[in-house]
Amino acid sequence: MIALCAGAALAALAALASGCGSSESSAETLTLYSAQHQQMTNALVKAFERKSGAKVRVRFGEDEGLANQIVQEGSASPADVLLSENTPPLELLAGKGLLAQVNSPTLAQVPARYDSPNGRWVGVAARETVLIYNPKLISTRQLPASILDLAKREWKGKLAIAPSEPDFVPIVSAIDKLDGRAATERWLEGFASNAARYDDNEGIVAAVEGGQVAAGVINHYYWYEQAKEVGAAAVRSKLYYFGHKDPGALVNVSGAGALKSSGNPALAQRFLAFLVSKEGQSAMTHSGDWEYPLVAGVVPPPGLRPFATLQAPDLGPADLGNGSVPLALMQQAGLL
């Protein structure tokens, strides 16, 4: 009898201990697939966890890879939300009916031109396409009037390109939309002939900084990260903004969408709402990632050119499509 009572007491204590520690295990959990930079993603996740009490599991990858993985996983996908680096993967998933409608108040936080045209994802951050150049190798008089000029023979051996970077895909889409298919094919062929190839935008920055090449097309924040790392006075390269609504002045948008198959759709919508809240946008701008916030009243990282002065082309997510056309054109040009 004593042994039985002792056993019962131990069982009760174990149950009590389990109950005392159940707050973490019973917390809501969100699974996030993120193609965004880790420092930005981690800052957003930590801020959301503090505010909501929920837990977020993150799986990192590239835009195209994560989108294709979700397509393959279908309704069995463990993902609740996809945070993309660019809009084509979100448009791909929306076109396949895999994304849920975003709550209207969430969409209203961001200018409509930076949201999904059918409300399936919300814009989170923006970055500008720029030309990074080394002033010791190229003078301001030699800078191109348009990104299309980089296909000319005078640029042969002076350029760097990272065709496997997801950021390059929207640029090709922009040229195709604004200047037509023939011009896009000529540009890709010329760029492929003129440029040395690198794995990523960081490689382009390093090559231009080191004087291996004169210039390269990147997103603006890679230069700012370099300046922060080595000190602004030590940076050898400069940024050139095309402006004038040239396709080379394209503003790329990072967005997020909730999957229809999410096991916790309410939490997924809360996460989307947090991303475009002033608290979420401020967490992003303080993450050291140098991207532009899309919500009014949120101060961008210091030193960035004012967003309103970028003179980007009048292109929205629907114009850039789901990425299939530019990828096919890049393969045709031998860039992939």
Can you tell me the distance from the alpha carbon of 174 to that of 316, in angstroms, rounded to the nearest whole number?
10
pLDDT at 331 over 80: yes
Q: In whole angstroms, what is the distance from residue 158 CA to residue 169 CA?
A: 21
How many domains does the chain divide into? 2
Query: Based on the domain organization, do 203 and 77 belong to the same domain?
Result: no
What are the DSSP E strand ranges found in 27-173? Answer: 29-34, 55-60, 81-83, 122-133, 159-161
Residue 314: inside a domain: no
Cα distance between residue 291 and residue 221, in whole Å: 6
Q: Are residues 171 and 241 in the same domain?
A: yes
- Judgement on whether residues 116 and 191 belong to the same structural domain of the protein: no
**Identity (one letter) of the amino acid at 332?**
Q
What pLDDT score was predicted for residue 15?
A: 40
- Domain limits at 82? 28-125+252-304
Chain position carrying tokens 């809360």: 270
User: Considering the domain boundaries, does residue 133 fall inside one?
Assistant: yes
Distance CA 215, CA 239 (A): 10
What pLDDT, on the 0 to 100 scale, is given for residue 120?
A: 98
Q: Yes or no: say if 16 and 8 are a contact pair by the CB < 8 Å rule.
A: no
Is residue 137 domain-shared with residue 245, that is, in the same domain? yes
Q: Is the pLDDT of residue 241 over 80?
A: yes
328 shares a domain with 211: yes
* Both structure tokens of 212: 């291996």
CA neighbor of 77 nearest in space, from 259, 252, 268, 318:
259
What lies within 8 Å, CB to CB, of 151 at 6+ separation is 186, 187, 188, 189, 190, 191, 194
**pLDDT of 185 over the 90 cut:** yes
Residue 26's pLDDT is what?
Answer: 57
Same domain as 266, residue 203? no
* Structural domain contains residue 266: yes
pLDDT digits (tens, 9 = 90+) for 263-309: 999 999 999 999 999 999 999 999 999 999 999 999 999 999 999 99
Does 119 map to a domain?
Answer: yes
Residues 209 and 327 in one domain: yes
pLDDT higher than 60, residue 71 = yes
pLDDT category, 318, cuts 50, 70, 90?
Answer: confident
Digit-coded pLDDT (tens) for 252-261:
999 999 999 9
E strand spans, 3-121: 29-34, 55-60, 81-83
What is the model's pTM?
Answer: 0.89
In a domain, 271, yes or no: yes
Distance from the Cα of residue 314 to its chain's centroid: 20
1 found inside a domain: no
Q: Look at the block and give the residue holding tokens 């190229």.
A: 138
Residues 105 and 144 placed together within one structural domain of the fold: no
Q: What pLDDT is attached to residue 27?
A: 78
Specify burial of residue 206 (Cβ count, 10 A radius: 0-12, 13-18, 19+): middle
* Same-domain pairing of 168 and 292: no
pLDDT for 20 equals: 42
> Residue 295 maps to which CATH number?
3.40.190.10
Q: Average pLDDT of the chain?
A: 92
Are residues 268 and 291 located together in one domain of the fold? yes
